[in-house]
């Protein structure tokens, strides 16, 4: 499911790739993939950069990353533990380790790492800001943490991806708490194999946070989100 079309101005397109946090994201100028696993390399033939949040098997597949990097010559941005696992397979100048609080530019698209409340070696979450200032927050396997409220106020997110299952401790309720703390324009429940947990998340959101829209994604479909007015 590579994204052939280009988003309208002030918009982004995204595709949910697997049962986990795999997201393909397209801005008007760049194509990024976050935590791709369980995908065919062809799906990612147009990527400019791949972002990895942590080293767990459902987020990092070193063989897949190596294959895609060879074919596309894309940039890889990864947390410290994933960087270690990739460093012998990826050309040095194409692999960048990122730590919470630091920012990397992919052309005019900004990628900023923040902390993650997840039991991995050096996990991060990613704030991606498109060249049109559309703000996306990819929280991977993070459970809620208090600083999310400040981040939400500061960044005014358009889209926040919220884990609702599979990862240790994650439920529709913890996913909802991430949305509640960050208060995005659109919240997207992912990292689950069941539609029921996405619906449970949607119900909580409707009741407790009616100004945030819920977008329940299906895998391998393209969704567009525009910047908040
Ligand atoms: Zn996971």
Residue-wise pLDDT for 34-47, tens only, equals 999 999 988 898 99
What does the pLDDT read at residue 170?
86
Q: How far is CA 104 from CA 111, 125, 197, in A?
A: 5, 13, 34
Taking the centre of ligand 1 as the mean of its atom positions, its distance from the CA of residue 35, in whole angstroms, is 9
CA 131 to ligand 1 center in whole angstroms: 28
- Binned at pLDDT 50, 70 and 90, residue 80 comes out as very high
* Mean pLDDT, residues 109-121 taken together: 95
Distance 22 CA to ligand 1 centre (A): 9
> Is the predicted pLDDT of residue 204 greater than 60, yes or no?
yes
Q: How confident is the model at residue 175 (pLDDT cuts 50, 70, 90)?
A: very high
Cβ atoms of 163 and 21 within 8 Å: the answer is: yes
Contact 18, 93 (CB under 8 A): no
Ligand 1 centroid, distance to 161 Cα (angstroms):
13
* Percentage of the chain modeled with pLDDT above 70: 99
Copy the structure tokens of residue 75: 């940039």
What's the pTM? 0.94
Q: Give distance in angstroms: CA of 170 to centre of ligand 1.
A: 10
Distance from residue 8's CA to the centre of ligand 1 (Å):
31
- Ligand 1 center–CA 167 separation, angstroms: 5
Question: What pLDDT, on the 0 to 100 scale, is given for residue 1?
Answer: 53
Residue 172: C-alpha distances to residues 162, 163, 217 (Å): 9, 8, 15
The residue written with tokens 């992919």 in the block is 106
Distance 123 CA to ligand 1 centre (A): 11
DSSP letter, residue 219:
B
- Kindly state the average pLDDT of the residues 58-69: 96
Residue 33 has a pLDDT of 97
As given in the structure block, the two tokens for residue 168 are 């240790």
List CB contacts of 55: < 8 A, sequence separation 6 or more.
Answer: 79, 81, 82, 85, 120, 121
- Is the pLDDT assigned to residue 62 strictly greater than 90? yes
DSSP state of 89: T
Q: Is the pLDDT confidence value at 134 over 90?
A: yes
């Amino acid at each position: 499911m590579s994204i052939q079309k280009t988003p309208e101005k002030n918009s982004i397109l995204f595709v949910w790739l697997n049962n986990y946090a795999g997201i393909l994201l397209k801005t008007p100028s760049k194509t990024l993939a976050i935590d791709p696993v369980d995908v065919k390399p062809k799906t990612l033939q147009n990527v400019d950069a791949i972002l990895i949040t942590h080293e767990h098997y459902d987020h990092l597949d070193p063989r897949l990353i190596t294959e895609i990097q060879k074919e596309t010559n894309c940039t890889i941005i990864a947390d410290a533990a994933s960087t270690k696992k990739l460093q012998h397979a990826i050309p040095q100048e194409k692999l960048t380790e990122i730590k919470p609080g630091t920012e990397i530019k992919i052309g005019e698209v900004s990628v900023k790492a923040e902390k993650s409340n997840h039991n991995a070696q050096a996990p991060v979450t990613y704030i991606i800001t498109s060249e049109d200032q559309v703000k996306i927050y990819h929280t991977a396997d993070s459970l809620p943490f208090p600083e999310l409220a400040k981040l939400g106020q500061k960044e005014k997110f358009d889209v926040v991806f919220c884990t609702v299952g599979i990862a240790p401790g994650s439920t529709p309720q913890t996913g909802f708490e991430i949305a509640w703390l960050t208060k995005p324009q659109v919240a997207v429940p992912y990292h689950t194999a069941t539609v029921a947990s996405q619906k449970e998340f949607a119900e909580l959101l409707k009741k407790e946070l009616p100004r945030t829209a819920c977008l329940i994604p299906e895998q391998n479909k393209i969704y567009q989100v525009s910047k908040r007015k």
